[in-house]
Amino acid sequence: MVQFESGVKQIPFSQERVYNRLSDLNNLESLREHWDAIKEKTEGKLEDMTFDRDSLTVKVQSIALTLRIIEREPLKCIKLEGVNTPVPLNLWIQVLPVEDETSKIKVTIRAEVNMFMKAMIAKPLQEGVERLADMLSAIPY
């Protein structure tokens, strides 16, 4: 089991507002407006993204990865699990208050991989968790 954590990102919106937006993945539709910039930041590796209330599927280098929400801890944490992913993985989005209209966010990925796989996926997963946290902190909530 390996774990990758993003840095803590500050967001100029309340914890409640951020949590409510992220706990329903349909709200990610607003990312479509920024799709070209997102693809450019990932150097074309991110090809497509689809979602509904409880799941998000991203197509990265022709591989579709689906994450499904398995638990919502109101205002604090959204837990997702990989569905048919190459390795079993979980992802947490933690949202904590800083002030009334400021919160912070941190993304964690935990994957079940052997030591050989860890060496191969460590850098891409760490980069991925950082990019995801950056993307989530840039959303206008």
The CATH number that applies at residue 109 is: 3.30.530.20
Q: What confidence tens digit (pLDDT) does each residue in 115-141 have?
A: 888 888 888 889 889 988 988 898 888
- Domain range for 45: 2-138
| Nearest alpha carbon to residue 76 among 97, 91, 55, 90 | 97
> Max CA-CA distance within the chain?
45
Beta-strand pair 77-83/102-111: unpaired
Enter the pTM of the model: 0.87
Q: How many domains does the chain have?
A: 1
Q: Can you tell me the distance from the alpha carbon of 92 to that of 137, in angstroms, rounded to the nearest whole number?
A: 15
pLDDT at 127: 87
pLDDT reported for residue 44: 67
pLDDT of residue 78: 98
> What confidence tens digit (pLDDT) does each residue in 100-110 have?
999 999 999 99
Q: Which segments in the chain show pLDDT lower than 50? A: none
Instruction: Give pLDDT, residue 58.
Output: 81
- What is the structure's pLDDT at 115? 87
